[in-house]
Amino acid sequence: MLYRLDAPAKAVARQFGARANDDPWAGGHVAPGQFAPVITAGREMIAGPRPSGRQPRRMVPRLWGVPPPPSVHDAPRHGILSVRNLESPFWIGNLRNSEFRCVVPCTAFMEWGATRDREGKRRQCWFALEDQPIFAMAAVWKDSEIPGFALLTCEPNAALRFAGRDSMPVILPPGPEALDLWLNGGWDRAKALVAPYSSSLMRERG
């Protein structure tokens, strides 16, 4: 998977009610192992006591990819990019603790199609949303030498199944309620957001 965020930092922060500070993001393409803007309402890193009260939303650069646990020896070189098992001991603490949930702003994402073009290359299927020019993908972050994030995935909708995929990124519904629930709500309610986005609200773009 790849994705794009074709909007500058200030516009993204304004949409999500976050502080951009001096984030240099000007818009563009994001690949695994690269830094990208992330919206968080928790602390900047794990060290230190947990802040009291609700924290302001901030837009900070984080690396796409989380270092694997020591027991994993065949992880991708960019680290773990997605959360597939919500009950995994590696992820459950971050999911249950809202300060480690975050959202990743996006304008389009790419999944590799099941078919190939005339040159034998795998087809790139880019998807955008009809109802959200800039949308939020649900994610969690972990602290390490460089704090990284991983995107949550879920069952594919009809459009992604047609493209030959067995999963898709979790996309939050529009509006402040879903964003607030993911960033601040209890896991008992927030996990209901882990669901396929309606394919009728998606369009494939070239």
pLDDT digits (tens, 9 = 90+) for 180-202: 999 999 999 999 999 999 999 99
Q: How far is CA 145 from the centre of its chain?
A: 20
Q: Per-residue pLDDT tens for 120-149?
A: 788 899 999 999 999 999 999 998 778 899
Q: For residue 183, give the nearest of 16, 36, 69 by alpha carbon.
A: 16
Q: Answer yes or no: is pLDDT of 14 > 70.
A: yes
Q: How confident is the model at residue 42 (pLDDT cuts 50, 70, 90)?
A: confident
Q: Are residues 109 and 170 in contact, defined by beta-carbon separation less than 8 angstroms?
A: no
**Average pLDDT score, the chain:** 91
Instruction: Check: pTM over 0.85? Answer yes or no.
Output: yes
Query: Is CATH 3.90.1680.10 the classification given to domain 2-205?
Result: yes
Q: Per-residue pLDDT tens for 141-185?
A: 998 778 899 999 999 999 999 999 999 999 999 999 999 999 999
CA atoms within 13 A on the CB side of 23: 25
Q: Tell me the torsion sign for CA atoms 25, 34, 158, 180.
A: negative
Q: How confident is the model at residue 47 (pLDDT cuts 50, 70, 90)?
A: low
* Domain parsing of the chain, residue ranges: 2-205
Six token digits for residue 164 = 């030959």
